[in-house]
């Protein structure tokens, strides 16, 4: 009977520790703040150059970077590189790709895990109160490919 009580206490303590760890991770992720000094909102994508979903997202991020230059900062960090491991940990990255939307003060507004289309990125920014205007006119080719994004 004594052994069962000790096992029960150990299991209860282990479960409590796991729950506290998850809670701490969620607090850190939701209170994520970037040290970037900028007066512009920022979309920060944490991914990897060898990740398939990340590869699919890369051209969308490049378009956003050029189309909304001066209004939005778009940043990519390859978390599979050892020099970026601590940065990923500080931002609570557990799966890739993860996009974090920051306001102009560096406060996290929203995060998304997985592939996200350009259309959904712009829609999310709008729902957060940002209405960006493109820096260049859309070409016919861009319009034809929007359904892919």
Dmax over CA atoms of the chain, in Å, equals: 77
Locate 112 and state its tokens: 């998304």
* pLDDT tens, residue order, the chain (149 aa): 555 554 444 443 333 333 333 333 333 444 456 555 568 999 999 999 999 999 999 999 999 999 999 999 999 999 999 999 999 999 999 999 999 999 999 999 999 999 999 999 999 999 999 998 887 544 334 444 544 54
CA–CA distance, 146 with 81 (Å, rounded to integer): 32
Q: What is the DSSP letter of 10?
A: H
Instruction: Tell whether omega for the bond before 97 is within 30 degrees of 0, i.e. cis.
Output: yes
CA–CA distance, 65 with 62 (Å, rounded to integer): 5
Domains and CATH numbers, the chain: 42-148 (3.40.30.10)
């Amino acid at each position: 009977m004594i052994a069962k009580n000790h096992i029960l206490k150990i299991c209860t303590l282990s479960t409590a520790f796991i729950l506290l760890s998850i809670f701490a991770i969620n607090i850190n992720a939701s209170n994520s703040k970037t040290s970037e000094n900028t007066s512009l909102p920022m979309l920060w994508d944490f991914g990897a150059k060898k990740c398939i979903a990340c590869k699919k997202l890369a051209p969308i991020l490049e378009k956003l970077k050029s189309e909304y230059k001066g209004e939005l900062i778009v940043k990519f960090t390859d978390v599979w590189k050892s020099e970026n491991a601590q940065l990923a940990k500080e931002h609570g990255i557990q799966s890739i790709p993860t996009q974090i939307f920051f306001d102009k003060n560096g406060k996290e507004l929203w995060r998304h895990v997985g592939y996200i289309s350009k259309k959904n990125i712009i829609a999310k920014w709008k729902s957060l109160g940002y209405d960006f205007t493109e820096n260049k006119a859309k070409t016919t080719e861009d319009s034809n490919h929007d359904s892919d994004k």
